[in-house]
Amino acid sequence: MQHPLCFCCVVLIVLMSGSLCRAETVIIDCLITPDIYHFFKEREIKNTQIKIIHPGCFLSHPLFIDSNTSLSGEKGAQIQQTFTLPDTVGVINISSGDSTRAVSNVQISGVSFIGGAEKNGFAEHNPLISIFNAHDVTLSNLNLTGFRGDGVYVGQGNVVSNHHIVIRNVIFDGVNFSNRNGISIIDGHDILIDGNRFTRISRKGMPGSIDLEPNTSLQRIYNIMISRNHFTDVHGMAAIVISLRHAGGTVPDNVTIKGNIFDKVVRGILIKSAIPKNQVNNNFHIFDNRSSSASKGDYSICNVNAATGNNLPAIEKYSDSCWKSLRINQDVLQ
């Protein structure tokens, strides 16, 4: 017989033990049950609609979200990170937790997530939201502030490559620059990053607001759209970085960067390779971007043999230490 909770769509404060029922709605009142981790402790978060009301919620441990789940908040809803260890996982993890199966159909919207950067400082591998082995994920209308590592980390999928990911209308505020990137993508395809705002992000030496960085031959990045984002006050290498760090890594393919605004950044777009003469595919599309202040150049290429035409301009600058900024014609970055 189906559990009676499945017929009652609202659960307040206390849930019965065991897995949550299909299509169940959970309302968490932060004034009554502030620690979301203990609310769901030892419980699978799957097939669930979670609604956060009132500010004041926190996470004392990482939270894992499984398939067919939504997390949303009423106006003013907040979730704050209070744990410091482990610092190698996300605060919110869209993942099965055991890396043995894929996660799908997850939406997070309408919540402010507050990381521990101001209190605990930099932790490179501690993102606010991490995505592993997942597809059909939407992050929208969020405030991600004070993240210690990345705002959003899209990691390597050993079961399925992350795909059909949408990150839209999100405010990424690093607060004190004590973080890595706004968004890091290691492995994924068919990803849309649209209409977001990035500010006060990246400590010196980190990539920047958005970093596309496959590190091994198993990690593939393709069909990426980065559009209509606004970048201001970015202290990393660039607002958007395409990084080819290793000889065994794959080259990102079919990347479109259009309609973005760069203001008070080190560089607008940086494409860099640690290996001289690394061949980049012909389908990088970069157009209709605007830069008002880039201290080391609007657009930089290092150790990359780029395509011509409406894609990347042909630049040949091969050197084992070519970190020099190269300013490109304004018909590429407008």
- DSSP, residue by residue, 195-237: S-EEEEE--TTS-EEEEE---STT--EEEEEEES-EEEEE-SS
Q: Quick one: pLDDT at residue 275? A: 60
136 lies in some domain: yes
Model pLDDT, residue 319: 44
On whether residue 21 sits in a domain, the answer given is no
Q: 314 lies in a domain?
A: no
Radius of gyration of the chain (CA): 20
Structural domain of 190? 84-305
pLDDT for res 300 = 74
Q: Is residue 47 part of a domain?
A: no
| pLDDT, tens digit, 9 for 90 and up, residues 62-106 | 999 999 999 999 999 999 999 998 888 999 999 988 878 999 999
| Residue type present at position 163 | H
pLDDT by residue (tens digit) across 233-262? 999 989 999 877 655 567 788 889 999 999
User: Do the domain assignments include residue 315?
Assistant: no
Number of domains in the chain: 1
In a domain, 32, yes or no: no
Q: Which string of DSSP letters, residue by residue, matches 267-279?
A: -SEEEEESSTTEE
The CATH number of the domain where 93 resides is what?
Answer: 2.160.20.10
Name the CA dihedral angle for 161, 166, 170, 176, rounded to a multiple of 10 degrees: 20
Report if residue 245 sits inside a domain. yes
Q: Specify if 227 maps to a domain.
A: yes
pLDDT at 218: 84
294: which DSSP letter? Answer: B
Give the chain's residues under pLDDT 50.
1-21, 282, 306-334
